[in-house]
Structure 1
């Protein structure tokens, strides 16, 4: 489990402590504050702090002095207009700080989103816990034959059992050696900053990750996509549920125009128009490559 009883008690103590404030708050986000949303076998996502709500986006767009100068439905209409026309700056007025516990190999994907402030648990100063991500059998898959960075069919039977055994054994053995190298029982003990090099990429790390809503939406658009790697996608999906409660109008616009929408090239748009006029269009007459045509047809066929 991601949290011990002591950690759960600390969270409940933090949630029990309230403070009076004049700043804008989001009732939906308040319900998530500090709570741990469990992800994978040992991971979690927690909201540590946030700034702004839907009205902050509207306020920035209009440069108004209050929480909004128009009716709520007009505010949502403005938010949808901003999203539709890629006006990103007003969304930068909202910020969120998350505590995330995740496998190291997922963290290395995540950190590619560089528009955030990150502070990671330091294995130079502290000793990492014996916690490793071991996939559930249904998430063990072969290499895709079509996508160099994707998965194919699920492994089954003896092969799946063998892979799981290796993952558990290799992780456990590496950690045993890590502990042995650190030990000062009858030896000096290797420095923590050196001993950590022996740890596998499926060990769990933790960090605080702070970003604004615009850059968070970019992260979610890529990582909550069905084609994203499962192990990072489940984190993105957990964050999506939090954001939907935090800024519901902005999230609905994001879901409509980004998650559920599609971007078409000029050639693809020309094909749509030709099809609309009743013309039969093929890959050969489209002007698109085979890969482009395959992706275009996937959009058209849903």
Structure 2
């Protein structure tokens, strides 16, 4: 179950409260507050709190840059200008706090984004739930032959069934032993901080994760990308949906310039100019390595 009964009761009580405020609010985000959106088989993402909106980005930019922004006639135009020219501090004026339930191996990828405040569920103090991420059959895939950190063709038939069986059986066996080790019935019982090391990386953990919009968009650019691992990408995609309602101007600019745009090296830009002049440019005369050329060619397809 993604949410415990106690968590559901707490959320329901919070949603039923109505407190007047003088601070800026974002109607799109208000609709998301306290709602837990399911991700994977037992995970979720929910907004606990937030600060700022599109107007807060513009307000900060106009204080910082003064006259330099007077030629921009509206907030959306200003935000697009800031995104286009890689300004960062105005986007840091917005913050979000998320409650996330996720498998440990996804959390270890996620925590590499160090520009955030994190408080994780303590397995030294509390007992972890018997909840493990078991992939859906269509999420099982072989190792990619061209990408050392990616997936290839999907597993099928007996092999897929065997892998799912082992994942499930090993997870349950590890948790059985975890429970037996910490039990105090007829024994001293092993400390929780030691017993947890026997649990597999697909066990679920939870944390509160707070970050500003600038760093959140950097996280989303990498983790909502098609090349990101599926298990973290689905969390990023759910967060994208929330951010689009929170700061619609900023998110549209992000989609345009970061997710849908591309950064070209000086060499690639020179090749593009040569192509526009009618010159035949190949990898051999481009000045690029084979890998760079493949990436450049994909951009032009």
TM interval, short-chain normalised: over 0.9
Is 1:46 the counterpart of 2:81 in the alignment? Answer: no
Q: Determine the C-alpha separation between the residues in 1 that align with 2:293 and 2:139.
A: 29
- The equivalent residue for 1:101 is 101
How many residues are treated as equivalent by the alignment?
297
Shift of 1:73: 6.4
Q: TM-score w.r.t. structure 1 length? A: 0.96
Is 1:157 the counterpart of 2:157 in the alignment? Answer: yes
Q: Deviations for 1:14-50, whole angstroms, at most 9, x for unmatched residues?
A: 1111111100000000000010010000000010000
Shift of 1:271: 1.1
Q: Determine the C-alpha separation between the residues in 1 that align with 2:253 and 2:245.
A: 13
Q: TM-score w.r.t. structure 2 length? A: 0.96
Q: Deviations for 1:147-190, whole angstroms, at most 9, x for unmatched residues?
A: 00000000000110010001001100000000000000100000
Q: Secondary structure at the match of 1:49?
A: strand
- The equivalent residue for 2:192 is 192
Q: Deviations for 1:246-286, whole angstroms, at most 9, x for unmatched residues?
A: 00000000010001111111111111111111111111111
Q: Secondary structure at the match of 2:79?
A: helix
Q: Determine the C-alpha separation between the residues in 2 that align with 1:199 and 1:247.
A: 39
1:67-146 mapped onto 2 (5 Å cutoff): 74-146=74-146
Q: Determine the C-alpha separation between the residues in 2 that align with 1:121 and 1:228.
A: 25
Q: Deviations for 1:222-252, whole angstroms, at most 9, x for unmatched residues?
A: 0000000000000000000000000000000
Q: Determine the C-alpha separation between the residues in 2 that align with 1:16 and 1:236.
A: 28
Which has the larger displacement, 3-12 or 197-206? 3-12
Quickly say closer, same or farther: Cα 1:189–1:140, change in 2 above 3 A: same
Q: Determine the C-alpha separation between the residues in 2 that align with 1:117 and 1:4.
A: 24
Give the gaps of 5 or more residues in structure 2.
Answer: none
Quickly say closer, same or farther: Cα 1:200–1:232, change in 2 above 3 A: same
Taking only aligned residues, the RMSD between alpha carbons, in angstroms, comes to: 1.6
Is 1:288 the counterpart of 2:274 in the alignment? Answer: no
Shift of 1:8: 2.8
- The equivalent residue for 2:18 is 18
